[in-house]
Chains A and B, each alone.
Chain A
Amino acid sequence: MADTHTTDAPHQEAPLVTGNLGIREITQLVSYHTEKRPPSTWYMAFAVSSTLLAVLLVMIAYLFWNGVGVWGNNNPVGWGWPIVNFVFWVGIGHAGTLISAILFLFRQRWRTAINRSAEAMTLFAVICALLFPTIHVGRVWVIYWTLPLPNQMEMWPQFKSPLLWDVFAVSVYFTVSLIFWYVGLIPDLGTLRDRARSAFRRRIMAFFALGWTGANRHWRNYEKTYLLLAALATPLVLSVHSVVSFDFAVSIIPGWHTTIFPPYFVAGAIFSGFAMVMTLLIIARKVYGIRNIITMDHLEKMAIIILVTGTMVGFAYITEFFIAWYSQVEYEQYAFLNRATGPYAWAYWIMMSCNLLFPQFFWIKRLRRSIPFLFITSIIVNIGMWFERFVITVISLHRDFLPSSWDYFNPTIVDILTLIGSFGLFLTLFLIFLRFLPMVAMAEVKMVLPEADPHHYEKH
């Protein structure tokens, strides 16, 4: 029933929460899952994800013992799967802060149902992302050299290197996203504290709720903080993936060195991030029975964002291709021709069809509101976005300026298992989040209920 409830009448706004849920029901529905034993589905998922996490840990140990030679990276493909995976995960880590910061500034009230879990997902994706460059450096025990720490050797990182900018961009993004997420959690932690049955649980929740009482003054400070954090986080949403794109674009490698990279990467990141949010929430809303909070309308809006950002990415693909021809630089022209027709043409066309063509189905309203179709598309989009980074990284490198070194890049089993294992890390963290924290921002959802409008009871 809930899935069909919506209104398309242009003169009225569809309700954001369906099923006649009131304030009390929302609290009950969301808090309940952190208080009871998780469903058996949760245990099964956790078993799978923690196994994958174990695989990741084994792969990392194996890597540290043997060195990066265990990967398929070679010369000229010095950046193989680890960098592909890094960019892939950073990209996914964009939706959360976009939803919580930019959509907040644009007064998109529907964001309240999905922002909490999207932000959590963001943090976990960024953790997965940070893992890859860290283990890629080779001598991981001196990773702290990426930071500008004063030392007796007068050794400093290269400030002109975008790799260093990455360290700052991604870690600042992670920090601000974490703070933002935590600030948003405070009122809900207060609710959990008040509902806690055991003294132990109450004490933990009370510690993290920072003495929240829901007083007027608390709310005033809270809302001001939230607004300021949203304003600070907004440029970060754009800057992180822009800096990641600089890793490629500041070089002079054909296919990397192009000016549209920063906004194009940001659009792609939002695209893949929303797809991942959709994959996770389609499952979560069903398993946890919160379809009246994360409604069909929410999924449809996400589908529209996927359509818009997918088309923007497609626009960038076409622009790159056109300008490569227009530039009349033969290396640029060759790089793009090689993408579309060379040995990796299969990867290029996977990217094109998953990212540009497939989301176009979302022009059809029926498909935007079909759960199976949304679920499949959200996965296809992320496959496409992984391949986009593969196309950019590997295809651009595998035929470099010296034709005698041209070769076909092959990943090793370690590459493959590390990627799969990173999903283990991501899903394990997400499952722990679902188990212990309210997956929906209860306080914020209550604010978009019709009765939250101060004039609600004046209407006749």
Chain B
Amino acid sequence: MADTLHSSPILVKLVDTAEPTRGHALKPYQWTGGTRAYLVPMLIGAATLAVSLVVGFSETFREQFYFSYLVGWTFCLSLALGALFVVLIKHLTKASWIVALRRIPEALAASFPFLALLSIPIIIGLFDDHGLYHHWSIDGIADPGSEHYDEILAGKVAYLNKPFFLLRLAFYFVIWTLVSSKLWGLSLRQDLSGNAHIAAKQRKVSAWGLPLVALTTAFGSYDLLMSVDPHWFSTIFGVYFFAGAFMAAFCLIALLCMFLQRMGMLRGVVTREHYHDLGKLMFAFVVFWAYIAFSQYMLYWYGGIPEETIWFRHRLEHGWETHSAILLVAHFILPFLILLPRAVKRNLPLLAVMAVWLLVMQWFDHHWLAMPVLHYDQATFHWLDVSCWIGLTALFLGVTLWRLSRHALVPQGDPFLAKSLRFENV
């Protein structure tokens, strides 16, 4: 896999828009994990994904496959977007504690071209009459003479139609790629030159990038996840998507730091103090997610308008009520209680368990958002759900690690690195 990557410049560009700068990395900041660290996840991911694709596109499994794939893919997308938000906000607030581990969210956020490549099955699903968005994309939806005519969806045709959907998706990816690759490039240039004025440029890009990324994230979530059930609508949906994504990004950043440290890298760079802060942010955004989820549920429950409550009705019957309950308990109550004490956030094995747990819950949440549309009559997990998720995530992580291996692991030119290295919680 790595060899194919090296021999195909287009694929390399998709994975990493920047030229490798590993040669300029200071010795303690170099990648010393060899090739296995990223090859193994890449191969596992590619193999699992290949099986899923082959089986998934067979007649029997196709409908299931699209949904499973959507959940896995939006999971990875949410991690990249969450990481991008972390980088943007870091620059705008001049946060210095996170500098030592900044390269990790930057590398995660540089995944958009690769994620765009992985969106092909979603696009195929768009054009399939039994596919993801067939509720609104089927022919004749706006034609009163057709058997597929739907009065409500006919009114949405100006927005929910295939060409415009594709155009928007392309636009989102252009914005995300533009912002993240600019920040990635600047950060790597800072490694080489140590030019302190690059920090000002990073701030500038983040300033215009943040509102654009926020807007496209919200509309992206409407298009990709909300329009699976096209009759339903909720103004908070974009914030809900962001809340989960931001929380999950902190979990993944912590896990990747721990992984690299186990491999012998970043030793003495990322300390317990940094993990403590990551733990605080995980905790904060677990609560924020719950606040947003509660707002959405309570306001629709209280209003009791059928076209709004039906979406929750589907998630409270035929076994989905168990999923909803798990979401409440395992995405909020338990992590809230467990992450509350200071000691847990400073205990790395426990923090790792919580990070994995919350990442699983982030996937479970997306599953809960999309899957009841397909299986409204019986809550279920399909093995394709898991294989698509594992395949995409492993590939996503492998590629991210490979991208990381091409550069210094620490933004060695950042003027606040020294401050971040000796950072302590008081």
Q: Do A and B bind each other?
A: yes
Determine whether the beta carbon of B295 is less than 8 Å from that of A263: yes
| B302 contacts across to A, CB distance below 8 A | 250
Asked if A328 contacts B156 (CB within 8 A), the reply is yes
Closest B residue to A250 using CB positions: B302
Q: Does A166 contact B (CB under 8 A)?
A: no
Stretch at the interface among A25-33, A81-89, A319-327: A319-327
| A106, closest chain B residue (CB) | B93
Contact between A260 and B235, CB atoms less than 8 A apart: yes
The residue that B211 contacts in the complex, of A238, A311, A323, with Cβ under 8 A, is A311
> B234 contacts which of A10, A106, A259, A363 (Cβ < 8 Å)?
A259
**Residues of chain A lying within 8 A (CB to CB) of residue B156:** 326, 328
Are the CB atoms of B235 and A235 closer together than 8 Å?
A: no
> Chain B binding site: helix, strand, loop or mixed by DSSP?
helix
Report if B199 contacts A (CB, 8 A): yes
Cβ of B155 < 8 Å from any Cβ of A?
Answer: yes
Beta-carbon contact of B199 and A10 below 8 Å:
yes
Q: Which chain A residue shows the least CB distance to B305?
A: A252
Range of interface residues on chain A? 20 to 34
Note all chain A residues with C-beta closer than 8 A to B304.
Answer: 252
Proximity string of chain A (323-338) to chain B, C-beta cutoff 8 Å, 1 when within and 0 when not: 1001111000000000
CB of A346, distance to nearest CB on chain B (Å): 25
CA gap between A259 and B309 in the complex, in Å: 12
Residues of A within 8 A of B233 (CB): 323, 326-327
Tell me which residues across on chain A come within 8 A of B97, comparing CB atoms.
107
Contact partner of A320 (CB less than 8 A), chosen from B214, B235, B303, B307, is: B235
When distances are taken between beta carbons in the complex, the residues of chain A under 8 Å from B214 are 315
Closest to A311 in B: B211
Give the one of A251, A259, A261 with max B CB within 10 A. Answer: A259
CB contact under 8 A between A11 and B303, given known A242-B295, A259-B296, A326-B233:
no
Contact code string A262-302 (vs B, CB < 8 Å = 1, else 0): 11000000000000000000000000000000000000000
Interface magnitude class on chain B: 35 or more
Q: How far is the CB of A448 from chain B (nearest CB, A)?
A: 13
User: A246 at interface (Cβ–Cβ under 8 A)?
Assistant: yes
B196: which of A10, A246, A257, A319 is its contact (CB, 8 Å)? A10
Closest residue of chain B to A312 (Cβ to Cβ) is B214
Considering only residues 24-61 of chain A, those with a C-beta below 8 Å from chain B are none
Of residues 208 through 247 on chain A, the ones whose CB sits less than 8 Å from some CB of chain B are 235, 238, 242, 246
Which residues, 254 to 291 on B, are CB-close (under 8 Å) to A? 287, 291
Give the chain B neighbours of A329 by CB distance below 8 A.
Answer: 307
> Which residue from chain A places its CB closest to the CB of B199 in the assembled complex?
A10
A259 touches B299 (CB 8 A): yes
- State whether B299 touches A252 (Cβ < 8 A): no
**In the assembled complex, B215 has its CB within 8 A of some CB on chain A:** yes
The smallest C-beta distance from A105 to any residue of chain B, in angstroms, reads: 8
A11→B194 CA distance, assembly (Å): 11
CA distance A326 to B152 in the complex (A): 9
Task: Name the A residues within 8 Å of B198 (CB-CB).
Answer: 10
Interface check A9, CB cutoff 8 A: yes
Given contacts A259-B234, A326-B156, A328-B152, contact A250 B303 (CB under 8 A): yes
Q: Is the CB of B211 within 8 A of A259?
A: no
Cross-interface CB contact of A260 among B155, B236, B307, cutoff 8 Å: B236
Decide yes or no: A257 and B299 within 8 Å by CB, A10-B196, A10-B199 being known contacts: yes
In Å, the complex CA distance between A107 and B425 comes to 10
CB pair B303–A251 under 8 Å, yes or no, is: yes
Chain A residues, Cβ within 8 Å of B196? 9-11
A319–B199 CB distance below 8 A: no
Mark each residue of chain A from 66 to 98: 1 if its CB lies under 8 Å from any CB of chain B, else 0: 000000000000000000000000000000000
Interface readout for A107-135 with B: 1 if CB under 8 Å, 0 if not?
A: 10000000000000000000000000000
| Chain A nearest CB, measured from B135 CB (Å) | 14
Closest chain B residue to A259, Cβ basis: B236
| CB closest chain-B residue, reference A238 | B291
Tell me if B415 is interfacial: C-beta within 8 Å of chain A: yes
**Which single residue of chain A is at the shortest CB-CB distance from B294?**
A262
- Residue A249 at the chain B interface, CB threshold 8 Å: yes
State whether the Cβ of A309 lies closer than 8 Å to any Cβ in chain B.
Answer: no
**Looking across the interface, which residue of chain B has its beta carbon closest to that of A9?**
B196
Is A258 positioned at the interface, with any CB of B under 8 Å from its CB?
Answer: yes
Question: Which of B159, B296, B299 contacts A326 (CB under 8 A)?
Answer: B159
Please state if A250 and B238 are interface contacts (CB–CB under 8 Å): no
CB within 8 Å for A261 and B299 given contacts A9-B196, A10-B200, A252-B305: yes
Question: Is B386 positioned at the interface, with any CB of A under 8 Å from its CB?
Answer: no
Contacts of A319 in B (CB 8 A): 218, 235, 238
- Cα of A44 to Cα of B196 in the assembled complex, Å: 50
Among B222, B295, B303, point to the contact of A257 (Cβ < 8 A): B303
A398 to chain B, nearest CB (A): 21
**Alpha-carbon gap, A259 to B156, bound state (A):** 20
CA A316 – CA B416 in complex, angstroms? 35
Give the CA-CA distance A331 to B197 in the complex, in Å.
53
Distance in Å from the Cβ of B303 to the closest Cβ of chain A? 5
Closest to A231 in B: B340
CA of A50 to CA of B214, assembled, Å:
45
Shortest Cβ distance from B96 into A: residue: A13
Residues of chain B within 8 A of A363, CB atoms compared: 207
A458: B residues at CB distance < 8 A? none
CA distance A258 to B415 in the complex (A): 45
Nearest Cβ in chain B — how far from A251, in angstroms? 7
CB neighbours (8 Å) of A13 from chain B are: 94
Chain A residues with CB below 8 A from B307, complex form: 327, 329
In the docked arrangement, what's the CA distance between A238 and B292, Å? 11
Taken together as a complex, chains A and B put the C-alpha atoms of A257 and B309 apart, in Å, by 13
Cα A403 to Cα B291 with chains together (Å): 37
Does A154 sit at the interface, judged by CB under 8 A?
no
Indicate whether B39 reaches chain A with its CB closer than 8 angstroms.
no
In the complex, residue of chain A having the shortest beta-carbon distance to the beta carbon of B227 = A326
Partner of A10, one of B197, B211, B295: B197
Q: With A10-B196, A11-B199 given, can you name 9 additional A-B contacts, CB distance below 8 Å?
A: A8-B200, A252-B305, A259-B237, A260-B235, A262-B236, A262-B291, A319-B238, A323-B233, A326-B156
11 CB contacts below 8 A, A to B, read: A10-B196, A10-B200, A242-B291, A257-B303, A259-B300, A263-B291, A263-B295, A315-B215, A323-B234, A326-B222, A363-B207
Of all A-B residue pairs in the complex, the 4 with the closest CB atoms, nearest first, are A11-B415, A260-B235, A10-B199, A259-B236
Please give the residue numbers on chain B whose beta carbons come within 8 Å of chain A beta carbons, in ascending order: 93-94, 97, 152, 155-156, 159, 196-200, 203, 207, 211, 214-215, 218, 222, 233-239, 287, 291-292, 295-296, 298-300, 302-305, 307, 415-416
